[in-house]
Structures are given as C-alpha cells and as structure tokens.
Chains A and B, each alone.
Chain A
C-alpha cells in the first residue's frame, strides 16, 4: 500500500510538472484552456466529497457561481484584493450550502438530486432577476490580481501567470481534500455511502456528516468560482445553468468516482475530447454523445478502471463503487 501511495505521489508530481510546462509550449488559447481544466479538476474533486456520501447533487455548479458572484461583487463594489475575495467566495458558498442543507439533506437519492436542482435553479433565476447581481448580463471587467512586492511585479492578467496562480491554488486545495478523505471524516463518509443504517446503528449521526461533506465541498466550489471569475474577468448567470451541472456529473461518472484520480482523469479526457471535436462544428454534440454512450457501454465503471491504476489511491479497504443513485432511491426521504 505504501509503495502504491508513493507511486501515486510520483504520478501527481509528474502531472503537476507536466501542467507547469504548458505555458512554455502552448499559445494563450491552450493556456487559458488549461486554467479552465485546473478549475474543473477542483470542481470535480470537491464534487466527489458529496458523491462519497452516496448522493448526487445538481447544486455544485451554482455553489461555484455563489463564489464567483461573491468575488465579482467584492471586486466591483469594494475593490477587494484577490486573497480577500478568494476567502470570501469560499465562506459565502459554504454559508449558502449550510442554509440549503437544512431542507435538502432531509432528502436522499433522486429526491435530493431534484431538490438540489430546484434550489440551485431558483438561486440562478434570482441572479438573473435582480440588478444587484448584474441581471442577465452579470458582471464584467473583473480585473485580474496584480502583485507588486519590491522589485517583483506580476500581472496575473496574462494567461500564463494566472494559470500558475490557479494551478498553485488548485494543487493546495486538492492536497487538503485528499488528506480529508484519508482522515476519519473520509472513512465515515464512505461508511454512510455503503451502509447508512449500519452507520446510524453504531451511533454516527449520518445527516450531520452528510451536511459536513456538503458544506466543505461547497467551500471548494466557491474557490473554484472565484478562480473562474478572475480567469474570465466576468460572471454571467448562463455559465451556471443546468447543462454545466449535467456535464460536471457526466465527467465525474465517466471518470469514475471510486478513486481520487478517477474524476480528474474523466475531466481532463472528456474536456480534451470536447475541445478536439471543435472541427466538427455543429455535429460536435452528437459525436460527443456517441462517445459518452460508448464509454458507458464498454467501461461502465469509468475510466479509472481502464487505466489500471485504480488501486493506487484506493483507501485502506477495497470498496465497491460509490454513488448508487437508483439503489438509494429505494431509501427515499426520511
């Protein structure tokens, strides 16, 4: 196990190093695309925390939006510096998730999925409706951070500089998420996913731990939202619509949610595919659809199994696939 862990860290370091080379070899377009991938990886990894407790949520993308809107309002109204809006984005997203968790966590399975959709879409419509949130056009002109310490000045408005900033933040977040998953907290989440009744029987307040997962994952989504707001310099309500929530779910499932790296791999490969299909213009969604169907038919447990590294980041005990929506619909609400 320890050797596997070592190999895992080895791979992680190689991956980070490979990512760090991107700006040296690629144009602005691919650098910005890599920033988007990095943000998406943070989204997927934090999403997986909720999935670990056996639930699928449609609210994650809108919680990312809460972070993005918080950053936009902080910058536009108060001229807040980047670190302040970063923390604010995480805190506000977590707070919104905490409030939502009271009605939502009474539900499970498909009810939870639709409950999160309803709550998220209502929030998104409020953004569109109220001028305070910039209405349908949202916010633009969110200026990138600018660092000036003595002789060193870095303008993060350049795609490459911002990419390194985002990469650093994402890597730190992933480390935190990973260590949480390895901790007792992570063990409890898995127990809840597998054996809710059993967990309750041994005295675990399952709803409390599901709430913790929901709130912590929202905080990371908020950070991803802040990064997104700065990366694009704008925040628009359409960026957080149901399609993006669906794609987040697709990437997670296709990648495989059993291991830490599965979702990451799914995100990178599917985003890469989507991008590489641009030549197909209007036929692109159809080709993408066929790819999804084929992947599910031939590797139903996700890409993580395909690569054959699935034991690498696996927890101490081998566990079955997480996230069984249909199975938990039987459980329903209580």
Chain B
C-alpha cells in the first residue's frame, strides 16, 4: 500500500516536470509546425541561467528564475527572427537548423562550464514534507504547484485573450488566420518567445533537483515528442493530459517491472495510439 502511494507521488512529480517541458514544444509545433529539436537544450540553458544569475552572481533563486525565462525567451526570439523566418520556403530547413542550434548550445555549455562541473542551485524551499511516511522535498511540491500555476495561466492566456485567440487561429489554419488580418509574423515571434521561455522556466524549476549538465536536455526531447503524439498535435490540453498519462504509465511500469520494459511499453503505447487514433487523444482529425 505504501509502495502504491509512493509510486503515485512519484508519478505526480514526473507528470509536472514532463508537462512543463512538453507544453512549450507542443505550442511551437502547433503554431509553426516546427519540430524544435533544440527544445531540450533551451531547458538546459534555463537551468544554467538559473545557476549563473541565481547562484554564481548571487541574485537568489527568484532572480535566477526570471533570468532563465528571459535568456531562453531571447534565444527563442533569435531563432525565430534570424533562422526560422528566413527558412519559410524550405519545410525541412527549420528542423535541420534546430539540430544545429542544439549542437551549438550543448557545445557552448560544455565549453563555458565544463562537462565535469558541479553546479548547484539551492532551492528557496529547503527541507522535506512527510506524506504518508515518506519524505517529499518541499521543492518537489513547489514544482508541482508551479506547474499547475504556469499551465493554468497559459490556458487562461490562450482561452481568454486576443493573443490567445489569434494564436489558436494560426495553429488551426494559417491561411484563414491571415485572411482574418492576423499577423503571422508577430504571432510566431510571441509564440516562440513563450515556448522558449516555458522551457527556460522548466529548466530553472528543475535545476535544484536534477544534475545540471550540457546534455541534460537530450533524454527529455524524445519523451516530449512521444507525449505530443499521444496528446494530439496542436492541442495543448492534450499534451498536458498525455504528459500525465505517459509519466504515470512509465513510473508504474518501471516501479513494478524495470525501466527498459517501461521504455519499450511507452513506445508501443505511442504506436498503438497512432494506429487506433492517429490524431492523438485530443487532436482534431484533419482532412486533406
């Protein structure tokens, strides 16, 4: 019984972390149809920025968090203005460019901070809460809370504001949105800044509980793409739901079997969803 509760709590933590990373990727994929392979590296940059501004320069966790969001959002804007915008005519171009950005960011982090570095970000919430006989660090609970706040805020932003309406319009049908007088360029720019900023926020939130390394974004991106497929392309709610389902599924299988089995089962789950309901959990089936 305690094992079950433990596993449930672990699932909640994994879901929150996964949803934070995935939602930004889903956003940019939905709006711009760009598979941003560098998204995991934006998450990595967020963690490094949180360390640099918060710990190394002594600004504290909050400053580090804000800096992480700003730095990654700026990288996002840079990618949109100088790279994606110039590659509109070549559908596969952005994908290659994101891989280029991925390599550059990884190498830069390794070069600036070393591969063997011990960078530690202190959480403002030290200590652990005791739930059902197990210790849950306050920071983990904070991550779950922050994920709920951030994702809730994002939903409100997309559902109630004019920007949100325009963004969803672009995601659904670019040509129709353009006819409505929506500036695709401005929306793309904001979406990219938002997406990258979310990745940076996720990096800063996770920084105190993971190991910061130049390659920390790598394992995340694959899971993120699987989750997006499960959720349905273009659906943020679907991505969040899928993040929760996939993380819980994965956590339970690795706890009761082992994690190789969990990886294989996760991939098979994705294939099954693709075959049975190719549009994902909440994606709309689109016509030709």
Chain A residues with CB under 8 Å of chain B are 56, 103, 106-107, 110-111, 113-115, 117-119, 121-122, 125-126, 128-129, 196-197, 242, 246, 249-250, 253-254, 282-293, 296-297, 300-301, 321, 323-327, 329-334
Contact = CB atoms under 8 A, between A and B. Distances in A.
Contacts of A106: 274-275, 278
B102 A289 contact: yes
A116 to B, nearest CB: 10
5 contacts: A119-B267, A122-B267, A122-B271, A325-B95, A334-B278
Contacts of B267: 118-119, 121-122, 125
Given A106-B278, A291-B100, A331-B286, 5 more contacts: A118-B268, A118-B270, A121-B267, A122-B267, A126-B264
A114 B270 contact: yes
Most buried by A among B83, B86, B270: B270
Given A114-B226, A122-B264, A300 B100 contact: no
Contact of A286 (B93, B99, B106, B264): B106
B244 to A, nearest CB: 19
B263 A118 contact: no
Interface string B257-287: 0001001100110110011001100000111
B270 A283 contact: no
Contacts, number: 148
A287 B110 CA distance: 13
A292 B91 CA distance: 15
A73 to B, nearest CB: 21
Interface of B: 29, 33-35, 37, 83, 86-87, 89-93, 95-97, 99-104, 106-108, 110-111, 115, 222, 225-226, 229, 233, 260, 263-264, 267-268, 270-271, 274-275, 278-279, 285-288
B116 to A, nearest CB: 12
B106 A285 contact: yes
Nearest to A298: B86
Top-6 shortest CB links A-B: A286-B107, A289-B103, A333-B278, A292-B100, A293-B100, A300-B90
A297 B278 contact: no
A325 B229 CA distance: 15
A296 B90 contact: yes
Contacts of A297: 83, 86-87, 97
Contacts of B93: 253, 296, 300
A261 B274 CA distance: 34
Contacts of A329: 33, 233
Nearest to B286: A332
Most buried by A among B99, B229, B287: B99
B91 A326 contact: yes
Contacts of B34: 326
A286 B233 contact: no
Contacts of B268: 118, 122
Given A296-B96, A301-B90, A331-B288, A125 B263 contact: yes
A300 B107 contact: no
B99 A292 contact: yes
A119 B278 contact: no
A292 B97 contact: yes
Nearest to A334: B288
A326 B91 CA distance: 6
B91 A327 contact: yes
